Amino acid sequence: MSQSYTQLEKQFKRIHVLGDASSILHWDMAAMMPKGGAESRMEQMALLATLSHSMMCEDRLSDLLDEAEQEGGLTDWQAANLREMRRAHTHATALDEVLVEALSRTTSACEQVWREARAEGDFAKVAPQLKEVLNLTRQAAAAKADKLGCSLYDALLDQYEPDGKASEIDPIFEKLEGFLPDFLQTVQDQQKDVTVQMPQGPFAIEKQKELGALFMAALGFDFDHGRLDVSMHPFCGGTADDVRLTTRYDESDFTSALMGVLHETGHALYERGLPQDWRNQPVGQARGMSVHESQSLLVEMQVCRSDAFLTYAHPHMQQTFEGIGAAWSLENMTNLYRQVKPGFIRVDADEVTYPAHVILRYKLERALIEGHMQIEEIPERWNSMMKDMLGVTVENDRDGCLQDIHWYDGAWGYFPTYTLGAMTAAQIFDAIKKAVPDVEGEIAKGNFAPLMGWLRENIHAKGSSLSTKDLLIQATGKPLDPEVFIAHLKGRYSS
């Protein structure tokens, strides 16, 4: 191993630890921090962002990368780590320190205003801050696009989906757009005679948390290395050794928060399963957000809405809430979790309508980044597309363009990874069922070890050692194939 490479590992470990600290501060801001702490938190996060950026952009780092690449003599994992170091360095050095600090301050401030605007359902309240976020994001996109030799949108997408390109996403999404409307109508026609009863609450928050924690532990979540809290928007944050999950509760409906918890647990299990030996190095991190979302959606959608999981989970649901009557039957609970009904909220959407929510956001954020649309147009365009794509009429901004945190905290280019992740999840679970024939039988008994064992070996433990495409080929035998996702939807909802 070259001396240059050894020095790189030391520097990237320091950078990673700074990132971990920033992640914990962000979790605290979303889940615990009092409103009055916003100004000082903004200063703290801006400082960490600029420190990390300056460490990544040191002149000697560029020299070390050049030397290590020329010297060679690395193992496969070290070579992959060096590749990921170069990728991170390219992104970082595209931006100057002034822009990095401005982005950190502006997104932190915008996120705080968004919380107030969302509570009040008033997009106009946060529009000025969001306009500044977009302005700075477009500047960052232009700088990165120039260095990467790609479009503005692809430069942002690459931060979340390495080597991802809108030109590759477009035909996949067009295929879904062509398939979903007629299929949605078919499923709704089939379900119109199916009676679904919502169990009557109230459902105490403590009981909901107790049930969520039970399923988290069954899936393999280690509460010595993580926790579950409440925030306005569910997320998984923290670090690989201290994973912080959040959800939001509704005392009239326990099903939404529960699926939110299971979704974030999928993220958490991926983080915990990443290769321990490479924990503080780029190659030891998650392989992009489509893979990350595939792990959360595999748990939430593929597994936890399956007959097998509901067979296991139903008695625990009934016991926790002391439910009696037809609404608590296994048949009704299955119908409830399989109900396809267009709605306003993405995180509550069923598998069939979910892609429409993502495609809408993808189209809008591309238009905004590429300058074909202005911030002030968001509510009208959002509401119009919701009507066209899902047939629902959005009555307020809270249920419309204020529902997601992503744009307000600076995560532009993230949204397509949700549906790419859903398709990846379907393909991975299809491969698991072929490799472990009785995996569903074990899930029905509450034994998730075969499922998680396969994921740990074939997905989690790989970290970023492989490209997304190669990871999927190695795990499933082929690159992403939307037909597998379509076959899954047909099998679950129209058979």
- Predicted local confidence at residue 233, as pLDDT: 81
pTM of the model: 0.93
Average pLDDT over residues 108-119: 94
% of the chain surpassing 70 pLDDT: 100
Strands 236-239 vs 226-230: parallel, antiparallel or unpaired: unpaired
Distances (CA, A) of 292 to 27, 141, 204, 244, 352: 18, 23, 31, 15, 20
| Catalytic pick among 264, 271, 300, 440 | 264
**Whole-angstrom distance, CA of residue 311 vs CA of residue 130:** 45
- Return the HEC string of the chain: CCHHHHHHHHHHHHHHHHHHHHHHHHHHHHHCCCHHHHHHHHHHHHHHHHHHHHHHCCHHHHHHHHHHHHHCCCCHHHHHHHHHHHHHHHHHHCCCHHHHHHHHHHHHHHHHHHHHHHHHCCHHHHHHHHHHHHHHHHHHHHHHHHHHCCCHHHHHHHHHCCCCCHHHHHHHHHHHHHHHHHHHHHHHHHHCCCCCCCCCCCCCHHHHHHHHHHHHHHHCCCHHHEEEEECCCCCEEEECCEEEEEECCCCCCHHHHHHHHHHHHHHHHHHHHCCHHHCCCHHHCCCHHHHHHHHHHHHHHHHCCCHHHHHHHHHHHHHHCCCCCHHHCHHHHHHHHHCCCCCCCHHHCCCCCHHHHHHHHHHHHHHHHCCCCCHHHHHHHHHHHHHHHHCCCCCCHHHCCCCCCCCCCCCCCCCHHHHHHHHHHHHHHHHHHHHCCCHHHHHHCCCCHHHHHHHHHHCHHHCCCCCHHHHHHHHHCCCCCHHHHHHHHHHHHCC
81-85, 253-257, 268-272, 368-372: the lowest-pLDDT one = 253-257
End-to-end CA distance of the chain: 57
- Convert the pLDDT of each residue in 45-60 to its tens digit: 999 999 999 999 999 9
pLDDT at 495 over 80: no
What confidence category does residue 2 fall into, taking pLDDT thresholds of 50, 70 and 90?
Answer: confident
**Whole-angstrom distance, CA of residue 105 vs CA of residue 378:** 23
Q: Where are the domains of the chain?
A: 3-162, 168-493
CATH topology of domain 168-493: Neurolysin; domain 3 (1.10.1370)
pLDDT at 185 over 90: yes
- Predicted local confidence at residue 315, as pLDDT: 96
Verify whether residue 264 is a known catalytic residue. yes
Strand order through the sheet with 242-247? 226-230, 242-247, 236-239
Residue 226: name the closest of 264, 195, 281 by CA.
264
Largest separation between any pair of C-alpha atoms in the chain: 71
- Convert the pLDDT of each residue in 282-336 to its tens digit: 999 999 999 999 999 999 999 999 999 999 999 999 999 999 999 999 999 999 9
**Whole-angstrom distance, CA of residue 221 vs CA of residue 261:** 11
What confidence category does residue 457 fall into, taking pLDDT thresholds of 50, 70 and 90?
Answer: very high
CB atoms near residue 98 (< 10 Å):
9
Distances (CA, A) of 76 to 1, 48, 67, 278, 485: 12, 32, 17, 13, 32
**Whole-angstrom distance, CA of residue 275 vs CA of residue 296:** 18
**Whole-angstrom distance, CA of residue 491 vs CA of residue 495:** 5
% of the chain surpassing 90 pLDDT: 95
pLDDT at 1 over 80: no
- Predicted local confidence at residue 490, as pLDDT: 96
- Predicted local confidence at residue 72, as pLDDT: 81
Average pLDDT over residues 52-73: 94
